[in-house]
Amino acid sequence: MKTKITELFGIEHPIIQGGMHYVGFAELAAAVSNAGGLGIITGLTQKTPDDLAAEIERCKTMTDKPFGVNITILPMVNTPDYPGYLKAIIEGGVRIVETAGRSPELFMEALKAHGVKVIHKCTSVKHALKAQKIGCDAVSADGFECGGHPGEDDIPNFILLPRVKEELDIPFVASGGIGTGSQLVASLALGAEGINMGTRFLATREAPVHDNVKQAIVNATELDTRLIMRNLTNTERVMRNKAVDELVELEKERGDQITFEEVAPFVVAKYKDIMQEGEMDSGAWSCGMVAGLIHDIPTCQELIDRIMGEAHTIIKNQLATL
């Protein structure tokens, strides 16, 4: 299947594995790339630029296919060494970067000077247009269904994707709540040039996370995610667990008076305990509504082959007969 995204990134299938904290290590990125998609290493999971450089080199030993690095730009108490991370990416020969969070405008000159293609995650038409204006090569349009931060506009993909198509000149992929071949076909019909999946790749054999995380996704339904930090204008979709239930109750009680200091014990520095140690009630972790469509833990190759096979069957048989 050839689309503007497969041509832009030099990949076989229009499927991208989005960056995920304490998930996007070399083994997952390589597995996705080897299966014909675009694997992504999560940059800030690596504690230092040197660590990222080593992870990039490790990924190169596992695949000779294109892969990218995610850089999330967020306000933090201790600002990451972004110039150092960019240097590691460029010197490591990585030519695809996924950015998320705030605008990557300050990084664009350095990235473009070294021929790096940039795809920016956006939750609104406004942000997609800004990404296009500053020189991003593509956009990942994140609908309200997504795990992690869906923005504050609550626009689902059935509306967001055709709106982005109306406004944008650069190619974009659909992201948020996606995990099947039928959804790939639907995304293409709505104007996208491919799909970006996070939660679905989290429940794969190669995902380097504790089996408790994978089983939690398989056991969940589309009703098992919660939105937290709405009153802080930092909404995040997470999997329901004991800690999240406690946080939701606290947010109800405190309302607009709640502070980040009150929320912090539930969300700060929890990912390693959850993803690597399997301590499922220790805090909040991002998960999309697509959990309701995830019923197994395949290899990345099996998953991508299944998605593409289903998509081709729908296009050639079901839709062609109409």
Q: Taken in order 179, 130, 105, 113, is the CA torsion positive or negative?
A: positive
Q: CA-CA distances (angstroms) from residue 93 to 26, 76, 86, 228, 234?
A: 15, 28, 11, 38, 34
Cβ(153)–Cβ(136) below 8 Å: no
- The DSSP code for 317 is I
pLDDT tens profile 143-186: 999 999 999 999 999 999 999 999 999 999 999 999 999 999 99
* Average pLDDT across the chain, whole number: 96
One-letter amino acid at 276 equals Q
Q: What is the pLDDT of residues 186-209, one digit of tens each?
A: 999 999 999 999 999 999 999 999
Q: Are 123 and 153 in contact (CB under 8 A)?
A: yes
Strand partners, 140: 121, 173
- The first and second tokens of residue 11, run together, are 């990949």
Indicate the length of the chain as a whole number.
322
Residue among 164, 159, 157, 203 at smallest CA distance from 178: 157
Percent of the chain topping pLDDT 70: 99
Q: Where are the domains of the chain?
A: 4-209, 221-286
Query: What amino acid is encoded at 300 in this protein?
Result: C
104 — pLDDT class (breaks 50, 70, 90): very high
- Topology (CATH level 3) of domain 4-209: TIM Barrel (3.20.20)
Residue 77 clears pLDDT 90, i.e. is over it: no
